[in-house]
Amino acid sequence: MSAARAEPERDPAKRAAELRRLLEHHGYRYYVLDDPEIGDDAYDALLDELRAIEADHPELVTPDSPTQRIGGEPVSDLIKVRHPQQMLSLANARSAEELRAWIQRMRNHLAREGITDPEFEYVAEPKIDGLAISLLYRNGVFERGATRGNGEIGEDVTHNLRTIPAIPLRLDIDDPPTMVEVRGEVYMSLPDFAALNERRAQAGLSTFMNPRNSAAGTIRQLDPKLTADRPLSVWCYAIGATQGISFEAHWEALEWLREHRFPVHPDVKKLQIEDEVVAQCQSWEQRRGSLDFEIDGVVVKVNEVELQRRLGVVGREPRWAIAWKFPPTTAVTRLNQIGWNPGKFGDLHPYAMLEPVHVGGVTIKLATLHNEEDLARKDLREGEEVIVLRAGDVIPQVLSPGPHVAEREKRPPPPHPPAECPICQTPTVKPEESVFTRCPNRDCPGRRWQLLKHFVGAMDIDGLGEKQVSLFMELGWVRTAADFYRLDAERIAGQPGFGEVSAQKLVTAVEDSKRQPFGRVLYALGIEEVGYVTGRNLSQQFRTIDGLLGASIEEIEQTQGVGPKMAQTIHDQLHDEQMLGLIEDLRAQGLRLEQEGPAPGTGPLAGKTFVLTGTLPNLTREEATERIVAGGGKVTGSVSRRTGYVVAGESPGSKLAQAERLGVQVIDEDGLRSLLP
Ligand code: IVH
């Protein structure tokens, strides 16, 4: 579908349907293909317009409307539901020999059925380590989503599955099948998992053991609002029960899913030769650590549905599919010692120094322990056995004491945070409201290193990572973030790991970062509680660094997403002498300390609300919206007395009549252009 030109709407029902189609299209581009066509603002404007229509015409709200994804009511209990077709499990193979033996067993079985020398085609897919789900579409509409449960009876989790943006609420087919049941795996991506645990650790809450547990806990939430806060993803891998549609091969089903916008992993492969299947399994095993979600194996399926039927099922396991399982990612080892590392605000983070152990394909010696409370909750002691987990690229973590710890008569004393900072030896402090003991020394090299690392990450400076930051600190070239902008290519070129070209490249990347917007600079400064979003909100609210520095705590509190405590922290940390010095230094280096573009409430279109109707000669509705928003104006869906202008194109709808009735000014595309900046 093309988003290019919006059809002129005739009535609210038609426009609502059109908006839903557009929102589905753009949601798909963003969430499934990771390739958006329009900006967030334009997407939000479409959503706002749909919300406005639905508010005016509640009878037009449909369950498959994109407005209905979140905001569903909490349920009081999870209801048990019977799957229209049993959800099977899989037999395992742990080596190439076992995989080949499986193929031989299939041949033997078919030979007994009178089929000699079957030409197998195989499909190899990642075995995603999440939770199996079933999505039921009746007449093209997502009706019910359920967990696997025992394979026959699962739990209705429709309210939560709706919040997953990659799951279509409606099939984009004119003549949808009466019923189709899509099967897939819900999971939490590793970055989302790490961020969630980080947030929970910071808030002093218990952390999840692994992405799978975290996805499992999330999908069974009763309140969909909580689910929406914990990002889940999904890969679809099969079609279950159907009515009004059928497939002759598994590959066909996958293609159908892809065509109808279900997320199917792009590296699923169709293969003919046994050796290729083995090679494919091994290749997934090698790539395992570089994926951004966890897989615990590869599923190999026989492609032809007729052969699947002939092969049949034993117990709950089909003969026609197998899971090539990877070695586990947990291991038991000794926790030799607990170390403490200051973060960028001096908060001491515990970490485990382990007896080196081989897990998930690599040797690990260090693992994170999150925070003191987590450490206490897990009841870990130095010198004892522990269970460690290594999940993909996430930093390894210590899960719990080892299997035999409970049998011990005498355990070592529980660990305590150190009385002195392990890096700078300053006596530590423990603020009452914090789960962290802190190093209070602003000049602590450990803290500085973290702050500088944060700065280069936030400013997205290519080629400047941990290693380089450490090197430049050791050389005494960099103490504050402003020092990066004084680095000299010639001197860098003489350092180990650098040549002339790489040194010049690095200096250019640093120079380029001066173009990062003000909001990002605010984030990069490393003010407690100011993440990327708050940085951007502050930049929009105050426009310039001087505006922000001149603001009172009460004024800072007016910023979106900033509460009273946060406002106090931001104010205090901004007015700290070192911070003021850094800001001046960065200003002198030419970083952007002003917001570009018009301020809300100050652009040429400030305070003006626009309503679009009909087809404009040269601008699509989305383009027109983007330009109005860029000029400081707002676009809404329905005409009222407060509407500034109605922009009418060809075949305008009822909004034009409404505008005329209310006496709202009506302009055409040229009229709009003359108002734009
Ligand atoms: S197919 C034959 N395909 O693995 C049908 N399952 O042990 C069985 N899983 O409960 C399922 N990725 O949760 C299939 N690409 C994939 C899978 C997959 C993960 C899970 C699923 C299932 C379990 C079977």
Q: What is the mean pLDDT of the chain?
A: 90
Pocket of ligand 1, candidates 299, 313, 314: which has the most ligand atoms within 8 Å of its Cβ, to mutate?
299
For residues 41 and 380, the model is more confident at 380
pLDDT at 351: 95
Q: Are strands 80-82 and 153-155 parallel, antiparallel or unpaired?
A: antiparallel
**pLDDT reading at 4 higher than 60:** no
Q: Tens digit of pLDDT for each residue in 93-152?
A: 989 999 999 999 999 999 998 998 888 999 999 999 999 999 999 999 999 999 999 999
Q: Is-contact 237 191, C-beta < 8 A?
A: no
Determine the Cα–Cα distance for residues 219 and 230; give it in Å rounded to an integer.
9
Q: Which atom of ligand 1 is nearest to the CA of 127?
A: 12
pLDDT-based confidence at residue 488 (cuts at 50, 70, 90): very high
Entry pTM? 0.60
Q: Tens digit of pLDDT for each residue in 542-556?
A: 999 999 999 999 999
The topology (CATH level 3) of 329-407 is OB fold (Dihydrolipoamide Acetyltransferase, E2P) (2.40.50)
Pocket of ligand 1, candidates 129, 134, 185, 219: which has the most ligand atoms within 8 Å of its Cβ, to mutate?
185
Supply the angle between the helices 577-589 and 564-574 in degrees, to the nearest 10.
70
Mean pLDDT, residues 429-451 taken together: 92
Determine the Cα–Cα distance for residues 662 and 675; give it in Å rounded to an integer.
22
Separation of 665 CA from ligand 1 center, angstroms? 59
Task: Kindly write down the DSSP assignment for every residue of 328-362, as one continuous string.
Answer: PSEEEEEEEEEEEEE-TTSBEEEEEEEEEEEETTE
Supply the angle between the helices 621-630 and 40-56 in degrees, to the nearest 10.
110
End-to-end alpha-carbon separation of the chain, Å? 31
pLDDT-based confidence at residue 37 (cuts at 50, 70, 90): confident
Determine the Cα–Cα distance for residues 396 and 387; give it in Å rounded to an integer.
11
Class of domain 518-589: mainly alpha
Determine the Cα–Cα distance for residues 441 and 428; give it in Å rounded to an integer.
9
pLDDT at 438: 94
Domain residue ranges of the chain, discontinuous segments joined by + = 12-68, 99-325, 329-407, 445-515, 518-589, 609-675
Write the residue with the smallest CA distance to atom 5 of ligand 1.
88
Write the residue with the smallest CA distance to atom 23 of ligand 1.
89
Statement: 99-325 belongs to CATH 3.60.130.10: no
Q: Which atom of ligand 1 is nearest to the CA of 129?
A: 19
Long-range contacts of 603-606 (CB under 8 A, 24+ apart): 603/630, 603/631, 603/632, 603/633, 603/677, 604/631, 604/632, 604/675, 604/676, 604/677, 605/631, 605/632, 605/633, 605/675, 605/676, 605/677, 606/632, 606/633
Separation of 667 CA from ligand 1 center, angstroms? 57
Kindly list the protein residues whose Cβ atom lies closer than 6 A to any atom of ligand 1: 88-90, 125, 127-128, 132, 148, 185, 237-238, 299, 318, 321, 323
Q: Is-contact 160 218, C-beta < 8 A?
A: yes
Separation of 307 CA from ligand 1 center, angstroms? 19
Tell whether the torsion through CA atoms of 11, 14, 20 and 26 is positive or negative: negative
Task: Kindly write down the DSSP assignment for every residue of 264-330, as one continuous string.
Answer: --TT-EEE-SHHHHHHHHHHHHHHGGGSSS-EEEEEEEESBHHHHHHH-EETTEETTEEEEEPPPSE
Write the residue with the smallest CA distance to atom 17 of ligand 1.
127
Among candidate residues 14, 127, 410, 608, the one labeled active-site is 127
Determine the Cα–Cα distance for residues 421 and 494; give it in Å rounded to an integer.
34
The topology (CATH level 3) of 12-68 is Helix Hairpins (1.10.287)
Determine the Cα–Cα distance for residues 603 and 609; give it in Å rounded to an integer.
13
Say yes or no: do domains 99-325 and 518-589 share a fold. no
Q: Tens digit of pLDDT for each residue in 333-374?
A: 999 999 999 999 999 999 999 999 988 667 899 998 988 888
pLDDT at 10: 65
For the question of residue 127 being annotated catalytic, the response is yes
pLDDT at 188: 94
Separation of 266 CA from ligand 1 center, angstroms? 17
**pLDDT reading at 180 higher than 50:** yes
Coil, strand or helix at 80: strand
- Pick from 148-152, 227-231, 299-303, 545-549: least confident: 227-231
Statement: 445-515 belongs to CATH 1.20.1250.20: no
- Pick from 172-176, 199-203, 506-510, 527-531: least confident: 199-203
Statement: 609-675 belongs to CATH 3.40.50.360: no
Determine the Cα–Cα distance for residues 295 and 276; give it in Å rounded to an integer.
20
Residue % of the chain over a pLDDT of 70: 97
Separation of 33 CA from ligand 1 center, angstroms? 23
Q: Tens digit of pLDDT for each residue in 421-431?
A: 999 999 999 98
**pLDDT reading at 8 higher than 60:** no
Count of other CB atoms within 10 angstroms of residue 361: 13
Edge-to-edge strand ranges of the sheet holding 665-667: 634-636, 609-613, 645-648, 665-667
Q: Which residue has tokens 């049998």?
A: 407
**pLDDT reading at 597 higher than 80:** no
